[in-house]
Chains A and B, each alone.
Chain A
């Protein structure tokens, strides 16, 4: 046989193999990068209907008098023993740490504070299973450390979230979990979400892959991924899309949706701008919560701090149909929305930020469009950082002005307990 002749019969299986591999969806593998394709500009915008088309701005809610209140659920009968991990920061941001709050079934809460201090206190927190994950953002080292609730002092691991050798500080903002061996890390200064293995024994095994969100970057190319949540097998990522060196709030925000099994972006069909994600009417979204009873995502848009611009509010998105609805438009009356926690399908708590030291906690019934100011005096015209809901339905509130976590029973609106965290509480997560 002439060695230079190619046997076509041998080529056919190879060609078939190439054809099949090109058509099949890629499964998750190490260092795979799932890319968001660029916007498709072939849409006929004149006939396109986005999820925001036709929706109107809601009427301002009715503020109930002080004697009235909006309650949710039944009054608390018994406490359940539980634990919470809280990321904390010094008032001057020179240091940070974490605290462990323990509550017994008598309603007694206590805190052990100042575990593993770190410089600058640029921290957040995530939780899965029996571990909490302290997220050290840009000023505190760009890494994540895992601790067990049973041993909050000793790290199980700590891994950097920077790309090796890169000058870019990744600035991790959030971590959401699919299971014990798969999670997503949002890196605010990057266009890429990391897919990670939270059970990795070595740093080399930590990163599994990436999700590419570069298509959502504005003129500066950075999508500003601020928060995320997983619901119904889907990853919902808030993209603030702030612009320029001073983070101007000039672009529409989006939610990118990914299938957590395949890590492929889902085309929600909700946008007429060529993006696959869900367009939001609120700008600068800074928090997202999934309310399971109503299968609804609650998003808080914080608008603009500098200069003050009320372009935010509270928006809901149906987690299945992606239909969205603006439930509260922010305004000078209540201020920018900097905290949000639904306590039931229709009752939400939110923080109105009118000024540096003028934050107030409100409760709102989104069905009746009524709201009331909190009954807790310390949470009116104060400084509030975080809202979190425990398994009993109690609302935990970070009171920065007093370096205290206050626990409120939504059924009465009253404070049932408070715990000092030594440093200011930033982010609260609960043990299962």
Chain B
């Protein structure tokens, strides 16, 4: 248990008081009984834009979490990747290791990628084997919307995480309202041509009838990623041997497909079945950029989701859903000639995950109860065919129960949400047979994690509100950290989970036609303070043997600002800025008092779009400063100065989009010795019929 007995009792008392207050509110408002549980929930009247909500999806109008929503219109019919879209949002930073299809990860409010949970339709993508979610495996063309929650995780998303959460909503068909009796269909074709021998094709079809909606998409991306950059030949102190080279062995071939079938049984019950596939072949370049390198990583990923939604289930104020999911991921890493790593590897890693989730909510006029319970099992097998080591399967089972109460006061101006989450994680490490036939026994490890969370939201009007949140979040150690890799990487069965107490406050202010020259405006200012303890870091001894240890605590704090201006219907201006600082408190002298690595302290993003009849001109600037590659803060990272220009033409069913990315032609290295492409062009043609 993380909380002491006193803290636990205090929390339970707080929850009971909340229940009593909510009950009092209900009693007073019994005369205002909605005629159906969900649709006439009072807070739904607050228009936050198009929100297609189902039971189990986050109700952002009531959520106090700091969040950003990215709709598909921002990135549809243009050549851009998921990490490039996320990069422009406040509090979010992404890091890529190279060109198209290269490993890309996300940092949220200074929290490392391993501490951020990426969800796909509410199902977490992070693996127990460790590491961050690779954003390059998720094609944008299959995405309908991206919800980014900074610092706190809504209960509907289940597992809370230290940095926050990114929920990627896949494309679905028409909204929930019953369709006309006639069957309708729409189709989209898109083709892109871009620099570095890059090609992309996408196709999608939507078929809708009175009861069924079917969406099918398919896409293919191919790129040689043969961009030019300055290779220092490994001699950073000798510019004489530097040379401009074409990147070698960085090609990608990526095939994706998505099928989504929604069935409406009646007004109250519906089901959804989704299957998506990602098959990617990716070459891995060496730091030396030798053309002889043949290392590659093949990844094949299947995701299956089945969901049953119920409105007014049993009672008119009860809604819920049941979700079943399964994932299979196979990664084949071929470095047989040890051109990238220390040892010859031809390893196959297989991750399988399956689970279910039950969500139920009771919707009352002044209070809203939510319950989420889930169970999942995950297995991880890895086999290096060039090694004699054999290993059984590593397994993780996770059970979680979460409850939240959302209460409304003062004619729903004031909203409180109190949530409690409990997770039970049981890990079973594999028994191994080493090179000499010795049996290395496995062991079990379990974690019991409690995550309380409190949110407050005060609404001045529908677009102006203040919010505050505080909560406790965890990250359980990964399989690699617990059980070790091969050779020099040992495991540590005594690892504690990383724990963070996150808090933030924010003010969102909206104007509607405040001046004659300003049609609409919205601004946000927020401050956050996170205290993380027991950070897991690999520590190496004098012989280069590494062991993960809970070696550090850290404070991460920052400021966030966003501003959106619509001077007229033709102009759109948005800007966001963040200042994130951290302080490492570590037993390791060279880490103590330093900043955490891997994120930029200062970040500024600007976007401008101008529409004139059929034309849309856009400009994006992204400026980031002050990052360190290492914990000792000896290696400053590359600054980011990105300028992108776009020109779009819309005519009837066709869209033509032309972009110039990275106009300043900078090969930014988000990771040391991993350059990303410089200036590049793209042309996309889309046809809707």
Given contacts A114-B634, A357-B541, contact A307 B435 (CB under 8 A): yes
CB–CB B634/A95 < 8 A = yes
B398 within 8 A of partner (CB): no
Known: A245-B338, A307-B438, A359-B542. A90 touches B630 (CB 8 A): yes
| Contact mask for chain B residues 568-600; partner A; CB cutoff 8 A; 1 contact, 0 none | 000000000000000000001111000001000
Shortest Cβ distance from residue B383 to the other chain A in the assembled complex, whole angstroms: 13
Known: A91-B591, A143-B235, A424-B542. A307 touches B436 (CB 8 A): yes
Interface membership of A169, Cβ < 8 A: yes
Please choose the segment from B49-57, B72-80, B284-292, B660-668 that sits at the chain A interface, where 4 or more of its residues have CB less than 8 A away: B284-292
Instruction: List B contacts of A346 (CB < 8 A).
Output: none
Interface contact B435-A422, CB-CB below 8 Å = no
Q: Pick from A191-199, A273-281, A319-327, A378-386 the stretch touching chain B.
A: A378-386
Given the known interface contacts A116-B237, A160-B235, A167-B293, the answer about A338 and B635 at a Cβ–Cβ threshold of 8 Å is no
Cα A420 to Cα B538 in complex, Å, equals: 22
| Contact of A97 with B541 at beta-carbon distance under 8 Å, contacts A119-B629, A158-B238, A245-B344 already known | no
- B590 CB contact (under 8 Å) in A202, A384, A422: A422
Please report which residues of chain A, range 377-401, place their CB below 8 angstroms from some CB of chain B when the two chains form the complex: 383-386, 398, 400
By DSSP majority rule, is chain B's interface helix, strand, loop, or mixed? loop
B537 touches A92 (CB 8 A): yes
Query: Who on chain B is nearest to A168 by CB?
Result: B339
Interface residue B210 (Cβ < 8 Å from any Cβ of A):
no
Interface residue B12 (Cβ < 8 Å from any Cβ of A): no
* Inter-chain contacts of B392 with A (CB < 8 A): none
* Contact B632 A90, beta carbon cutoff 8 Å: yes
Contact A93 B540, beta carbon cutoff 8 Å: yes
**Which residues of A from 29 to 65 have beta carbons under 8 Å from B?**
none
On whether the beta carbons of A423 and B632 are closer than 8 Å, the reply is yes
Residues of A within 8 A of B342 (CB): 138
Q: Decide yes or no whether B337 CB sits under 8 A from chain A.
A: yes
Contact A203 B238 (CB under 8 A): yes
Contacting residues of chain B (3-41) with chain A, CB-CB under 8 angstroms: none
B235 touches A92 (CB 8 A): no
> Cβ of B169 < 8 Å from any Cβ of A?
no
Q: Which of B338, B540, B545 has the most CB of A within 10 A?
A: B540
Chain A residues, Cβ within 8 Å of B488: 306
Instruction: Provide the residues of chain A in CB contact with B234, threshold 8 Å.
Output: 136, 141-143, 160, 162
| Contact (Cβ within 8 A) B237 A158 | yes
Query: Taking A116-B237, A356-B490 as contacts, is the C-beta distance between A166 and B632 under 8 angstroms?
Result: no
A148 on interface, CB distance cutoff 8 Å: no
Residues of A within 8 A of B339 (CB): 167-169
CB proximity of B95 to chain A, nearest CB, Å: 15
CB of B69, distance to nearest CB on chain A (Å) = 35
B-side contacts of A178, CB under 8 Å: none
User: Shortest distance in angstroms between B203's beta carbon and chain A's nearest beta carbon?
Assistant: 39
Q: Total contacts A to B, CB within 8 angstroms?
A: 168
Known: A155-B237, A203-B238. A338 touches B543 (CB 8 A): yes
CA distance A179 to B317 in the complex (A): 89
Instruction: Find chain B residues with CB under 8 A from A138 CB.
Output: 342
Residue with the greatest number of chain B CB neighbours at <10 A, chosen from A119, A162, A403, A422: A119
0 or 1 for each of B602-642: is its CB under 8 Å from A? (1 = yes): 00000000000000000000000000011110110000000
Contact assessment for B542 and A167 in the assembled complex, using a CB-CB cutoff below 8 Å: no
**A90 touching B590, Cβ below 8 Å:** yes
Given A356-B547, A422-B589, is A400 in contact with B541 using a C-beta cutoff of 8 Å?
A: yes
Most buried by A among B339, B434, B590: B590
Cα(A114)–Cα(B453), bound, Å:
43
* A426 CB contacts on chain B under 8 angstroms: 542
Task: Say yes or no: is B233 at the interface (Cβ < 8 Å to chain A).
Answer: yes
Nearest CB on A from B46, distance (A): 47
Tell me, yes or no, whether A159 is within 8 Å of chain B by CB.
yes
User: Which residues of the other chain, A, contact B384 by a CB distance below 8 angstroms?
Assistant: 245
B328 to chain A, nearest CB (A): 27
User: Contact: A245 with B387, CB < 8 Å?
Assistant: yes
Indicate whether B263 reaches chain A with its CB closer than 8 angstroms: no
A91 to B551, CA, bound (A): 11
In the complex, residue of chain B having the shortest beta-carbon distance to the beta carbon of A142: B234
B487 touches A117 (CB 8 A): no
B71 within 8 A of A: no
On whether the beta carbons of A167 and B337 are closer than 8 Å, the reply is yes
Bound form: Cα–Cα A411–B386 in Å: 51
Question: Do A93 and B338 have beta carbons less than 8 Å apart?
Answer: no
Report the minimum CB–CB distance from B193 to chain A (whole Å). Answer: 31
Is A215 an interface residue, CB under 8 A from the partner? no
Q: Which of A116, A245, A307 contacts B345 (CB 8 A)?
A: A245
B633: nearest residue on chain A (CB-CB)? A95
Check if A403 sits within 8 Å of B589, measured CB to CB: yes
Of the candidates B233, B438, B589, B632, the one whose C-beta lies within 8 Å of that of A420 is: B589
Contact A423 B286 (CB under 8 A): no
Tell me which of A97, A166, A383 contacts B542 (CB under 8 A).
A383
State in angstroms the CA–CA spacing of A127 and B290 once bound together.
31
B236 within 8 A of A: yes
Chain B window 281-310, contacts with chain A (Cβ cutoff 8 Å), 1 for yes, 0 for no: 000001110111100000000000000000
| A431 located at the interface, meaning its Cβ lies under 8 Å from any Cβ of chain B in the complex | no
Is there contact, CB below 8 Å, between B490 and A117? no
CB closest residue in chain A, given B294: A167
Contact A91 B238 (CB under 8 A): no
Q: Which A residues are CB-close (under 8 A) to B235?
A: 141, 143, 145, 158-160
Q: How far is the CA of A160 from the CA of B235 in the complex (A)?
A: 6
Which residues of A sit under 8 angstroms from B233, Cβ to Cβ?
Answer: 143, 160, 162
Question: Given the complex, which residues of B lie within 8 Å of A160, measured CB to CB?
Answer: 233-235, 241
Task: Flag whether A165 is at the interface (Cβ < 8 A).
Answer: yes
**Bound CA span A188–B486, Å:** 20
Residues on B with C-beta less than 8 A from A248 are: 435
In the complex, what distance in Å separates the CA atom of A424 from the CA atom of B546?
A: 14
Residues of A contacting B386 with CB < 8 Å? 244-245
- Residues of B within 8 Å of A400, CB to CB, are 541-542
- Minimum CB–CB distance from B595 to chain A (whole Å) comes to 13
Given A160-B233, A167-B288, A246-B387, A97:B634 Cβ within 8 A: yes
User: Residue A305 at the B interface, CB < 8 A?
Assistant: yes
Cα-based distance from A418 to B348 in the complex (angstroms): 48
Does A414 touch B at the CB level, under 8 Å?
no
Q: List the A side residues contacting B293 at CB < 8 Å.
A: 167
Residues in B neighbouring A92, C-beta threshold 8 A: 537-540, 591, 630-631
Q: Is B343 in the interface zone, CB < 8 Å from A?
A: yes
Enumerate chain A residues within 8 angstroms of B389, measured Cβ to Cβ: 246
- The answer, yes or no, to whether B45 is at the interface (CB within 8 Å) is no
CB distance from B52 to the nearest CB of A (A): 44
Contact of A94 among B236, B343, B632 (CB under 8 A): B632
Q: B343 CB to closest chain A CB, in angstroms?
A: 4
Q: CA A431 – CA B110 in complex, angstroms?
A: 44
Give the docked Cα–Cα distance between A90 and B543 (Å). Answer: 13
In the complex formed, the residue of A with least CB distance to B634 is: A117
Closest to A144 in B: B235
- Chain B residue contacts of A157, Cβ below 8 A: 238
Q: Which residues in B have their C-beta under 8 angstroms from that of A359? A: 541-542
Asked if B343 contacts A245 (CB within 8 A), the reply is yes
Chain A residues in 8 Å Cβ range of B435: 246, 248, 307
Is A247 interfacial (CB 8 A cutoff)? yes
A361–chain B nearest beta-carbon distance, Å: 12
Q: Which 5 A-B pairs have the closest CB atoms?
A: A385-B542, A141-B234, A245-B344, A117-B634, A167-B292
What are 7 A-B interface contacts by the 8 Å CB criterion?
A90-B590, A91-B537, A95-B632, A168-B339, A246-B387, A246-B389, A307-B435
Q: Which residues of A contact B (CB under 8 A)?
A: 89-95, 97, 114, 116-120, 136, 138, 141-143, 145, 155, 157-160, 162, 165-169, 202-203, 244-248, 305-307, 338, 353, 356-357, 359, 383-386, 398, 400, 403, 420, 422-424, 426
Beyond known contacts A91-B591, A143-B233: 17 more, CB 8 A cutoff: A91-B551, A92-B539, A93-B544, A94-B630, A95-B635, A116-B237, A142-B288, A145-B235, A158-B236, A160-B234, A166-B292, A167-B291, A168-B339, A169-B339, A244-B386, A246-B486, A424-B542
